[in-house]
Homo-oligomer: A and B are copies of this chain.
Amino acid sequence: MSATPPPQPPPGRVEDARVARSRRAVLSAGVDLLVREGWSALTHQRVAREADVGRATVYRHWPDPKHLLIDVLEHALAGEVRTISHVGSTRDDLVAELTALAEAINDGPTFDVIVTLIERADVDLELRRFHERMTRLARRGVWSVVRSAIDRGELDPELDEVAAAAQTIGPLFYRRALVPRRIRRADVETVVDAFLDGHRTPRER
């Protein structure tokens, strides 16, 4: 999980309680800063002050600012990944998936993480890989519902994973990022209904 080798928990031993405490304090403070001021505020100095931790300590654990950023982003996402159970109709399952996603985007630090990754992905290769890993994960839930629906003959078999995500997650993300406004339940339902109507199986175009 950690992106920095230096203070690696020694192979066979338990992590020192002091190390754990410092890391936790720094990462939590980092997430707060990320949400309040954006990724550019994640300097060793700011984070150390915010976490009430020595500046040298932050440098010890994360000699490289980029890996500090990456670890903060990962920490911000920890616990935000939920698994949605699919039991109802295609519509209900899709609404459930997208509602969970919308809630994460509305309230937690998830949106700030995504935006940071988009902004830095074009500049840094390592962040780009992280970015792709995250969004692939986000697509998975939607795709499993859509694939089932395709298998059952409810949806156009031409649909691929990216297209399905683009037309469901895309509109929700647009609302949060470009309007910008919180995503409401009605927005999710509108998106799902339009998506399902737009991709019914026996297309008579």
A171 to B121 Cα, complex, angstroms: 19
Partner of A197 from B171, B178, B198 at Cβ < 8 Å: B198
Contact B112 A115 (CB under 8 A): no
Of A10-18, A21-29, A48-56, A188-196, the segment with at least 4 beta carbons within 8 Å of chain B is A188-196
Contact B169 A178 (CB under 8 A): yes
Contact A195 B198 (CB under 8 A): yes
Partner of A170 from B112, B162, B173 at Cβ < 8 Å: B173
Residue A37 is within 8 A (CB to CB) of chain B in the complex? yes
Residue A202 is within 8 A (CB to CB) of chain B in the complex? no
Residue A205 is within 8 A (CB to CB) of chain B in the complex? yes
Contact B121 A180 (CB under 8 A): yes
Q: Looking across the interface, which residue of chain B has its beta carbon closest to that of A178?
A: B135
Residue A87 is within 8 A (CB to CB) of chain B in the complex? no
Contact B38 A120 (CB under 8 A): yes
Residue A3 is within 8 A (CB to CB) of chain B in the complex? no
- Pick the most buried of A118, A162, A174: most chain B CB atoms within 10 A of its CB: A174
A115 → B minimal CB distance (Å): 5
Partner of A194 from B167, B180, B187 at Cβ < 8 Å: B167
Given A119-B116, A123-B38 in contact, is the A191-B174 Cβ separation under 8 Å? Answer: no
Contact A118 B178 (CB under 8 A): yes
Residue A89 is within 8 A (CB to CB) of chain B in the complex? no
Residue A199 is within 8 A (CB to CB) of chain B in the complex? yes
Residue A177 is within 8 A (CB to CB) of chain B in the complex? yes
A133 → B minimal CB distance (Å): 12
Give residues 151-176 of A contacting B (CB, 8 Å).
Answer: 162-163, 165-167, 169-175
A contact residues vs B (CB 8 Å cutoff)? 36-40, 112, 114-116, 118-123, 131-132, 135, 138, 162-163, 165-167, 169-175, 177-181, 187, 190-191, 193-200, 203, 205
